[in-house]
Structure 1
Amino acid sequence: MSERVLTPRNRGFLFLDSHPRGCERVVADMWRECPEPLGLPAGDGPVALVIGSSAGYGLAATLAGLKRAGIRGIAVSFEKAPTPRRTATAGWYRTAATAELARDAGRDLVLLNGDAFSDALKDRVADLVEQRFGGRLDHLVYSVAAPRRTDPDTGTAYASVLKPIGAAHRTKTLVFDDRGAPEVREVETGPAEGDDVEQTVAVMGGADWARWIDRLAARGVLAPGFSTAALSYIGSPLTAAIYRQGTIGAAKAHLEATARTLDERLAASLGGRAVTSVNGAAVTQSSTAIPGIALYTGLLRGVLGTDLVPPVRQLAALWDQLTGLAPLALDDEGRVRLDTWELADEVQAAVAERWRAATTDTVADLADLDWFRAEVQRLYGFAVPGVDYTVPVATDVPWPTPVAS
């Protein structure tokens, strides 16, 4: 097994390698941060499927489900294995750490690596539910953020884009130079053209979520009272033009429309529910790619400090609602709202004031840049307290194999 000293190498917010021990510690820290269960069911816990389980809110959903709700079941992600030249992706190492925590907690969790958009993986999951979990799936959490999707019926490949709709948009954004010094720049993003909106909706809308439900329902593995949630984001008016009112926003609107359709079907057939869960801001590998989001999130942390609610605590609240420990708290559009702390009027007013004042010279006083910079590095297992980065670490970590049921 290869061992070497790993140091962060990056191009902007994208890092070329990941640190296995740091990723393991990140997962352990999230586990400790998750609230203790209010009361777990006697015997085996509910059977759940988390799609997109290795990063961001999907990882938080997996860990919170295991600890807070006592779930067992299946977690799906798409990660790259280590090679002689490169480490595995960070999600690969986070998945290995998640498997260890699940085993220590006595939770039967099968972790699959593959293309969640494919019917082959959907059928493999259905087989596992039948053969390993008694043919009963109680919950499904959908958290997929991907740049491309191939339609299994037509073979058509779609690609998502991050663009405003109708006109170009200029916004402030935060970057760091080669020495790590912050800079506030204005960037312009051209408007969606041609079929950009349709392509983005095909990738990030509700089509694949609905296909998962259809495929599993056809196999007869959805339990009475089955519930499903797709994770989403609305965000601030400061980022609305590029996000909620842009191509990604069109995909999110499609996701919410899909939830309403699925909710009607599941209620009629199983007494079940389908909702979207609107989560609060966080530093994720997906969010750092969106112009303006890095600056906004740093300013938000500057306003809220430690009152910024981490994803694993948000998802613990979602599991409480999905499992019935707490009532579903829905807005007028039928969405679970876990972002009220972020969108409170006084918080948004304070962030907007700092946004207007943010320049390269002032941003260090307005945003929590040390926190933000460290959060970006932690996405790849670096800058994690308690990890000695001068010590060689084994990078050839195997994908976790489930214990015999």
Structure 2
Amino acid sequence: MSERVIAPKSRGFLFLDSHPGGCRRLVDDMWEAVPAPVATGGEGPVALIIGSSAGYGLAATVAGLARVGIRGIGVCFEKAPARRTGTAGWYRTAATARLARQHGRDMVFVNGDAFGDTVKEQVADLLVERFGGRLDFLVYSVAAPRRTDPDTGEVYASALKPIGSPYTTKTLVFDEHGGPEVKEVTTAPAEGDDVEQTVAVMGGDDWERWVGFLADRSLLADGFTTAALSYIGSPLTAAIYRQGTIGAAKTHLEATARTLDERLGKTVGGRAVTSVNAAAVTQSSTAIPGIALYVGLLRGVLGDAMVAPVGQLVELWDRLTGARPLDLDDEGRVRLDTWELDPAVQHAVAERWNTATGDTVTELADLDWFGDEVRRLYGFSVPGVDYTAAVETDVPWPTPTGWSGTSTSRR
């Protein structure tokens, strides 16, 4: 037993420890927010969620389990408890597995590097041993700083930079006392092979490799459908995001979707799409200059009309399973971001952006909500949790009964 009281300690938006009880309650609340299940008829479809422990990947996992009754496999890369607590994703995965068992869903979680072929082989074996050797859905939601090419061993590193010229933007920071400040920061443009490296990490290469790997083992069911999660975002952040190195990777991801869609249509009568999600506070998004301020202002404009990630993924599952039409835009993308990019909303956010200063930002942005959302990424500020009580930190990874595979921890 390793019970202790865990207090939130952070460096900027990065927290040093996570709270197991808060992470568990957060996942419980996500499940409760999912509408009543849609009828699937018999056993639920078999799904693979790559990036299942955080952000939109976690939302895809919980929404798929609670709404559609999926069974299958989640893949993520999390750190086990040791001297410090485990990562928040470790505890969220344990909580998701517990809920899946309680509701009779057979969901297995593999902890390891999704870019590597070892994990792909583990997943393929599980599909054969546990799920009849057929996969109905694959949701790809991976954000990573680097990727090792399984064929060459070359390590690629992603960069968060504009393309062509330096980018200066407002950004939200908090002083040592927690007071908000609005500052200008300048990011140098991409140089050398920054764009190519970022595309190699965050583009569609690994997604395509996953689909090809499973197809080569005849594991794709007739009508197999896959979706990669993406983002476009506001014109206010376009220079650093959609028009920057990350945007180049997203463009590559969307081109990959079109290639996969054509291939799957011919081989298994399947589909491949990208899903453009809307803004949310995630561990990835808080690292992008200007995004924290933008999301806080967006919340200030919309309040509770913002659609949480789990709500967006409910809509995606409804579209993927045929409960709603799978409507696509001219680029072949599912658009879940229309409420964010509504012209009236963007106009209101832009007006606030232009007048936001350290003196005015508390009136223009919902900073209390934003701060709570950041803390909730690590299991803090979750309603109903007693943070003065000791909590067990040594939570085991949810290894399924009857599986001979092994779980690898983050390096």
TM range (shorter): over 0.9
- The residue type equivalent to 2:277 in the other structure is N
> 1:358-383 deviations in whole A, cap 9, x for unaligned?
00000000000000000000000011
The alpha carbon displacement at 1:179 in A equals 1.1
CA–CA distance in structure 1, aligned partners of residues 322 and 226 of structure 2: 13
Q: Look up the match of 1:77.
A: 76
Q: Look up the match of 1:60.
A: 59
Q: Look up the match of 1:276.
A: 274
Which of 318, 321, 339 lines up with 2:319 in the alignment? 321
The yes-or-no answer on 1:126 pairing with 2:124 is yes
Q: Look up the match of 2:408.
A: none
- The residue type equivalent to 1:204 in the other structure is M
Which of 293, 296, 314 lines up with 1:295 in the alignment? 293
Secondary structure, counterpart of 1:183 in structure 2 = strand
Report % sequence identity: 75
Secondary structure, counterpart of 1:343 in structure 2 = coil
Q: Look up the match of 2:407.
A: none
Superposition map of 1:156-171 within 5 A: 156-171=154-169
Q: Look up the match of 1:142.
A: 140
The alpha carbon displacement at 1:239 in A equals 0.1
Structure 1: any 5+ residue segments left out of the alignment? Answer: none
Q: Look up the match of 2:7.
A: 7
- The residue type equivalent to 1:399 in the other structure is W
Secondary structure, counterpart of 1:48 in structure 2 = strand
The alpha carbon displacement at 1:401 in A equals 1.7
- The residue type equivalent to 1:28 in the other structure is D
Which of 214, 234, 258 lines up with 2:212 in the alignment? 214
The alpha carbon displacement at 1:102 in A equals 0.3
Secondary structure, counterpart of 2:52 in structure 1 = coil
- The residue type equivalent to 1:352 in the other structure is A
CA–CA distance in structure 1, aligned partners of residues 159 and 364 of structure 2: 30
Secondary structure, counterpart of 1:340 in structure 2 = coil
Secondary structure, counterpart of 1:264 in structure 2 = helix
CA RMSD of aligned residues (A): 0.7
Secondary structure, counterpart of 2:339 in structure 1 = helix
Q: Look up the match of 1:89.
A: 87
- The residue type equivalent to 1:14 in the other structure is L
CA–CA distance in structure 1, aligned partners of residues 283 and 29 of structure 2: 18
CA–CA distance in structure 1, aligned partners of residues 34 and 294 of structure 2: 25
Superposition map of 1:5-404 within 5 A: 5-37=5-37, 39-83=38-82, 85-404=83-402
Give the total of aligned pairs. 403
CA–CA distance in structure 2, aligned partners of residues 36 and 359 of structure 1: 43
- The residue type equivalent to 1:59 in the other structure is L
CA–CA distance in structure 1, aligned partners of residues 64 and 313 of structure 2: 8
Q: Which moved more, 1:174-183 or 1:343-352?
A: 174-183
Secondary structure, counterpart of 1:220 in structure 2 = coil
Normalising by the residue count of structure 2, what TM-score does the alignment of the two structures yield? 0.97
User: Any runs of at least 4 consecutive aligned residues in structure 1 with deviations exceeding 3 A, and if so which?
Assistant: none
Secondary structure, counterpart of 1:284 in structure 2 = coil
The alpha carbon displacement at 1:403 in A equals 3.7
CA–CA distance in structure 2, aligned partners of residues 215 and 175 of structure 1: 43
The alpha carbon displacement at 1:155 in A equals 0.4
> 1:144-177 deviations in whole A, cap 9, x for unaligned?
0000000001000000010000000000000111
Secondary structure, counterpart of 2:399 in structure 1 = coil
> 1:104-138 deviations in whole A, cap 9, x for unaligned?
11000001100000011111101111111001100
CA–CA distance in structure 1, aligned partners of residues 152 and 357 of structure 2: 48
> 1:258-283 deviations in whole A, cap 9, x for unaligned?
00000000001111000000000000
Q: Which moved more, 1:303-312 or 1:322-331?
A: 322-331
The alpha carbon displacement at 1:42 in A equals 2.2
The alpha carbon displacement at 1:387 in A equals 0.6
Secondary structure, counterpart of 1:356 in structure 2 = helix
CA–CA distance in structure 1, aligned partners of residues 226 and 376 of structure 2: 29
Secondary structure, counterpart of 2:380 in structure 1 = coil
The alpha carbon displacement at 1:404 in A equals 4.3
Secondary structure, counterpart of 1:187 in structure 2 = strand
The alpha carbon displacement at 1:178 in A equals 1.5
The alpha carbon displacement at 1:224 in A equals 0.3
CA–CA distance in structure 2, aligned partners of residues 404 and 262 of structure 1: 34
> 1:286-331 deviations in whole A, cap 9, x for unaligned?
0000000000000000000000000001000100111111111100
